Structure 1
Amino acid sequence: MSSILTRSIQLLLSISILIVIHELGHFIMAQLFKVRVERFFLFFDPWFSILKKKIGHTIYGIGWVPLGGYIKISGMMMDDKNISSKNKINNWEFRSKSAIKRLLIISGGIIFNILLAVLIFTFLLFKYGETYLPTKNVKYGIEVDSLGEKIGLKNGDKILLVNDKYVPYFQDIPKEILLGNSITVDRMGNIVKLLLNNDKKKLLFDRKELNFFITPRVPPIINYVMKNSKAEKYGLRNNDEILAINSEFVLFSDQLKDLLSKYNNENILISINRNGKLIQKEIFLDPKGILGIYLKNFTELDQIFLFEKKNYSFFDSIPHGIKKAWEVLKNQIFFLKNVFHIETKAYKQIGSFFSIAREFPSKWNWDIFWTLTATLSIWLAFLNLFPIPSLDGGYILFIIIEMITKKKINEEIIERSTIYGFIIISLIMMLIIVWDVFKVFFY
């Protein structure tokens, strides 16, 4: 329960930051061009609000429906009180300004979300730097799960190319596979090219989580012995390296898993290396073949894998922050492209707030929190570029048409389109929420 609460609080805080920054972008641009803002609200406030206060011409407040936020700009929509005076336009109204000024006001939210993402990535790079595992340093090849096997990969494969290009850093390989069309591997000295058709893409996307389906292959070294387990009972310890099961040598973690399943419900003789000494333990495995140990993964074996750490000065971190934001945007565009290819089933990875909440860690981690917030900020900016009425992109489209044709579009047409757009967006959001709930309980 506490993990659910922690994730929910992180999500609510992240979304609140994104909404405030987005609406602040519109607000500042409006103030810059001397356009009045009547309301500035975090969350929606149908019927009543949690908090509100009028300062100057603007009412600031917090609503009770945490599905977004809004600002109301004077003269942007023709409401009942000014229809009769539509020929009299005040100089503090949105409609009194030139097309380029209106375009900047509407684009303010998108611009500020992009700037927020760049700022966060820049700060994270400046504070923490970046740690990479070069692909060339994955010296034992890869370990694959059942999904990796289904797309044609095998334990021990060394990935040479993805989509006919070399990927310098290992952590980028799963993403490149998702977006690519082929994988070239070194399989025990033989060069093998695996093609990624739509059926294989469907396997990659048709799952609950986009987790890593490949990891660097590692030797079986114990990271943690569970309390009250078989391993603890028979004297296995943290940092023991397992060398053999009975007379079969074990070089890698995946081999150990296969052997343990082979000898379940039997006595086994485990040979281990403990600080350079050979020790043997006879252990009876339970019917499930569970020892009760967690093995070290590649991130915990820096004495075996040579990682690269890059530190940045403040000024160096700025262009790299911009680059990282651009990479996030590119990934989102490529993912969206796959969503519209129904045969890949990438649409199954679309989610609502429930899916986003699961991405946050169960224990508070500011590094992950800010990384996810920056990623969501780019995603919000990207979505608002869609030329759909009621989104910023819809207004931007109308203004661009006006700038090209030199004629203002009828305000009633804009208002009706905005209402229809809002209804369509609301229905889509409801469908996504229903789909998300369905995935949790039935998928």
Structure 2
Amino acid sequence: MEFVIKISQFLLSLSLLIVLHELGHFIPAKLFKTKVEKFYLFFDVKFSLFKKKIGDTEYGIGWLPLGGYVKIAGMIDESMDKEQMALPPQPWEFRSKPTWQRLIIMLGGVTVNFILAYVIYVAVSFTYGDSDVKVASLKDGYWIDNPALLDFGFKTGDKVLAINDTPIINDSDIGFNLISAKTITINRGGEEKIIDLPEDFLGQFSSSKSKLNFEYRIPFMVGEVADSSLNAKKDLKVGDVIKSINGRELKYFDQLDEVTEGLKGSTVAVEILKEDNSIVKKELEIDNEGKFGIRPYNNPPRFEELGYYDIFRKEYTFGESFAAGGQKFTKTIYNYFDQLKAIFNPSTGAYKGLGGFKAIFDQFPSAWSWSYFWGLTAFLSIMLAILNLLPIPALDGGHVVFLLYEMISGRKPSEKFLERAQVIGFFILIALVLFANGNDIFKAITN
């Protein structure tokens, strides 16, 4: 069921972004009376799952979910329709239109993506507001379990005070500032300490087998008890919190291995905090691998109630949501440019973290959350827009570069040159796609 929920969110988000991006090309093309031969969600290599011709345009759904496209008459694109380009230009073709119209058509897709992201951020701000965890409220700091972070010198219990010279107030500030981090100031046991990060820390961090970052220190709350667990019939309820084991306090889940050391294959006495805050005592079994067979549960409101951290909440009026959404929009754009800058700088090693479709799929939660879905969709819309603006032939940005050259110089690049540039751009894109998705496969095998 978890897979069905994740794949449903992934395909819904991807389909929405592709259709609206291509609609951004389609609408101005139609407004300028340019013939659009095809409008496809996904690629129809050899055959399509569905197609219907309405007017001059064939609308369809392909079987290869790697993107989508509109085929505009008289345009050198991925279809490489040389036969059409060999014929005399027709007034309804892309190549016959004024340069400014062609430029608007080419910028239509990324424009829609940027507008979509901003609208989503505004709607999410108005509908859900903002919530974040105050770093100062994490009394015993963060849980550090990622081997890369441990190698850099971090320890469980560290409190993050600043990244570079930027004070960290909310937990989300860490993610936004980590990309460009060179130093991180922490408080460890009441003493401030500056940890210098290596130049390739992003590469080391993304190559780590662990996906954990700076994690909250939370209690061991019972979630799902496996049917095969020795504790399957112990009447444990979702939301129960295991507070002690054999008389030893278990304040945080990250202390579990320490508290259960030497207890493999034994029966232990535990104290459990129930949802009504009463304490009950039970005997639980630890298997020969040192496990309870219990999947922990994440319940932020309950953790806040128990005093593990404070959640900052802010609601926005309809008018205020436009400014709040705008701040998220611009912040995300700046952050993504920082990511790209790091990826294209080999010394950072950030390219090792470049992912493909699996990496995007993994970002969706296993439980449906509309607020998370729309937030991630807004980010992916910005990512799609910025990537399409890269000056690579075969991308919108490549076409824009040639059109700007034509507008400035007054000379149009030859169709032969554009064909060759399209082929080169296509191979660059294939190489990038193979590298990104190859990274996904490599991580899946090695992790």
TM-score by length of 1: 0.86
Contact 1:355 1:436 in 2 (8 A): yes
Deviation at 1:128, TM superposition (A): 1.3
CA positional deviation for 1:391: 0.6
Question: Which one is further off, 284-293 or 401-410?
Answer: 284-293
Q: Deviation of residue 392 (structure 1)?
A: 0.3
2:28 is aligned to 29
Aligned partners of 1:397 and 1:441: how far apart in 2? 40
Q: Distance in 1 between matches of 2:226 and 2:432?
A: 48
TM-aligned CA deviation for residue 241 of structure 1: 5.5
Q: Residues 388 and 76 from structure 1, CA distance in 2 versus in 1: closer, same or farther, beyond 3 angstroms?
A: same
Partner residue, 1:44: 43
The equivalent residue for 1:144 is: 144
**Which amino acid in 2 is paired with 1:123?**
A
Counterparts of 2:5 and 2:256, CA distance in 1: 36
Shift of 1:182: 1.1
How far apart are 1:115 and its partner, in Å? 1.2
Corresponding residue for residue 331 of structure 1: 335
How much has 1:359 moved relative to structure 2? 2.3
Q: Which residue of 1 aligns with 2:60?
A: 61
Instruction: Supply the AA of the counterpart residue of 1:30.
Output: A
Report deviation, 1:375: 1.9
What do residues 87-139 of structure 1 show as CA deviations (whole Å, max 9, x unaligned)?
A: xx52x332333322221110000001111122222222221111111222222
Verify the 8 A CA contact 1:205 1:348 in the aligned structure 2: yes
The superposition leaves residues 25-46 of structure 1 with CA deviations (integer Å, 9 ceiling, x where unpaired) of: 0111122323232222222223
Distance 1:227 1:53, change over 3 A: closer
Would you say the 8 A contact 2:117–2:382 is kept in 1?
yes
Q: Give the match's secondary structure for 1:428.
A: helix
Change (3 A) 1:298 1:161: farther
Aligned-partner Cα distance in 1 for 2:104–2:280 = 71
Alignment partner of 1:163 is 2:131: no
| Residue 201 of structure 1 pairs with residue 202 of structure 2 | yes
Secondary structure, counterpart of 2:167 in structure 1: coil
On the 8 A contact 1:206/1:346 being kept in 2, the answer is no
Show structure 1 runs of 5+ residues with no match. Answer: none
Shift of residue 267, structure 1, vs aligned partner: 6.3
Measured in 1, the distance between the counterparts of 2:217 and 2:49 equals 54
Range with greater deviation from structure 2 (401-410 or 338-347): 338-347
Distance 1:113 1:202 in 2: 29
Is the contact made by 2:182 and 2:199 (CA closer than 8 Å) also made in structure 1? no
Alpha-carbon distance between aligned partners in 1 of 2:102 and 2:268, rounded to the nearest angstrom: 75
**Which letter does structure 1 place at the counterpart of 2:433?**
M
Q: Could you say if the C-alpha distance between residues 138 and 110 of structure 1 is closer, same or farther in structure 2, counting changes exceeding 3 Å? A: same
Task: Give the length in aligned residue pairs.
Answer: 436
The answer to whether structure 1 residue 94 and structure 2 residue 94 are counterparts is yes
SS in 2 for 1:301: helix
Which runs of structure 2 are paired with 1:39-438 in the superposition (5 Å)? 39-77=38-76, 79-81=82-84, 83-86=86-89, 90=91, 92-147=92-147, 148-198=149-199, 200-207=201-208, 211-218=211-218, 220=219, 222-224=221-223, 226=225, 239-240=240-241, 242-243=243-244, 245-246=246-247, 248-265=248-265, 270=270, 285-293=286-294, 299=300, 300-303=302-305, 304=307, 305-438=309-442
User: Measured at CA, do residues 66 and 281 of structure 1 come closer, stay the same or move farther in structure 2, by a change above 3 Å?
Assistant: closer
Could you tell me how far 1:282 is from its partner in structure 2? 6.7
Structure 2 contact 244–272 (Cα < 8 Å) conserved: yes
Alpha-carbon distance between aligned partners in 2 of 1:378 and 1:16, rounded to the nearest angstrom: 15
C-alpha separation in 1, matches of 2:5 and 2:273: 40
| Closer, same or farther: CA 297–398 of 1 in aligned 2, 3 Å | same
CA-based RMSD of the aligned residues comes to 3.1
Per-residue Cα deviation, 1:196-243 (whole angstroms, up to 9, x for no partner): 11354333111356x44222334x454448367566777877545625
Task: Give the Cα–Cα distance (whole angstroms) in 2 for the partners of residues 265 and 440 of structure 1.
Answer: 31
Deviation at 1:395, TM superposition (A): 0.5
Deviates more, 1:156-165 or 1:106-115: 156-165
Q: After TM superposition, give the deviation of residue 278 of structure 1 in Å.
A: 7.4
Cα distance between partner residues in 2 of 1:51 and 1:367: 31
Identical-residue share of aligned pairs (%):
36
Contact 2:222-2:236 at 8 Å conserved across structures = no
- CA distance in structure 2 between the aligned counterparts of 1:273 and 1:428, rounded to whole angstroms: 51
